[in-house]
Amino acid sequence: MNEAMQRMLPATVLTLALHGALLSWRMQLPETVRPKPLPQKISVSLKR
* DSSP secondary structure, 6-31, as one string: HHHHHHHHHHHHHHHHHHHHHHHS-T
What is the DSSP-derived secondary structure letter of residue 37? P
CA distances from 15 to 18, 29, 40, 46, 48 (A): 5, 21, 33, 36, 41
Residue 35: band (very low, low, confident or very high) from pLDDT cuts 50, 70, 90:
low
22 vs 26: which has the higher pLDDT = 22
pLDDT at 25 over 90: no
d(CA 35, CA 20): 20
